[in-house]
Amino acid sequence: MDYIVFDLEWNQCPDGKENEKHDIPFEILEIGAIKLNSEKQEIGRFHEYIRPSVYPRLHFRTREIIHIQPELLRHADPFPAVIERFRKWCGEDARYCTWGALDLLELQRNIRHYKLPNFFPFPLRFYDIQKIFSLTYEDGKSRRALEYAVDMLNIQKDIPFHEALSDAYYTASVIRRIPDEKLLAFYSIDYFRIPRKASEEIFEVFQTYAKYVSRKFPTRPACMRDRNVTSTKCYLCGNTAAKQLPWFPTGGKNYCSLSYCPDHGFLKGKIRVKKTEDNRGYFCVKTLKLIDEERARELQERYRKKILKKQAPAD
């Protein structure tokens, strides 16, 4: 299986947000990619510019960040032709890697805008190297600029940043320094397309937790009434873990629960209700994680303060 490490440069509406096309806030102008084999040796490069058709003028920010000659864009092919060559170049069996999760989102938005088939597999597992860098070298929460990672890992800076191919090249250099067991364990799931029906729902077991991605629901409350969403089966043995605390709101769009598996102990459940990308519905991402007794007690305390206190009659 090859790694496809890619980076995009894009433009946005030069006449302000109110004039942008909502289905394509960012129009891709350049694709750069490095192909690595499973040993992480470079075996190919892809680099093309794209002739813009949605926002033909460059936003001043775009001009500041990226340094593309306007003639290069004028003489480039339109998006559909370039993306077809990119698709063929990627091959069937690819692990997609990017710095952050935005590139995959904007690429799929551009594909949809041109009514082209979305060629990524479903569900789409991908490697967010910005996140994996943090999980490997920092606290797992930080999100650093690519250049920061390059400096920290003593990678030679011999080409400029903010060009699609060189950013892909640097991202590939970071990938080479991440041990395989980290890289492969910490993949992400893309939420641009979500399951269309219950049988397509995603359930993945990671090293220390399990993740479930639901189908679409019309409203938030409808999500929380669904049995697949609220189930707290133990992800290690499949047994139903008895609820110690019901799903309760913890602020924002999140819910927590506590369950107990007789064989594996306490399970903390967390549900985030998210808007679908088209803003026409909701879906849930649920994680279940084994926690120790102390963490379980903390969760019980949180429930007591948040829920029971509210229900208690005022003095």
Q: How far apart are CA 201 and CA 269, in angstroms?
A: 17
- Find tokens 């992800």 and name the residue: 235
Amino acid at 125: R
- Would you tell me which residues interact with Zn ion (CB under 5 A)? 234, 236-237, 261, 263-264
Minimum distance between the CB of residue 123 and Zn ion, rounded to whole angstroms? Answer: 24
Minimum distance between the CB of residue 291 and Zn ion, rounded to whole angstroms? Answer: 13
Residue closer to Zn ion, measured from CB, 233 or 306 = 233
Minimum distance between the CB of residue 264 and Zn ion, rounded to whole angstroms? Answer: 4
Residue closer to Zn ion, measured from CB, 213 or 241 = 241
Using CA of residue 231, residue 236, residue 242, residue 248, what is the dihedral sign? negative
Among candidate residues 142, 55, 46, the one with its CA nearest the CA of residue 96: 46
Residue closer to Zn ion, measured from CB, 205 or 222 = 205
Q: Provide the 10 A C-beta neighbour count for residue 7.
A: 26
Residue closer to Zn ion, measured from CB, 54 or 261 = 261
Residue closer to Zn ion, measured from CB, 205 or 237 = 237
**Bridge partners of residue 128, in order along the sequence:** 98
Structure tokens that stand for 51 in this block = 């002739």
Minimum distance between the CB of residue 239 and Zn ion, rounded to whole angstroms? Answer: 5
**Bridge partners of residue 259, in order along the sequence:** 243, 267
Minimum distance between the CB of residue 201 and Zn ion, rounded to whole angstroms? Answer: 20
Which residue of this chain has its Cβ atom nearest to Zn ion in the complex?
A: 234
Contact 29, 60 (CB under 8 A): no
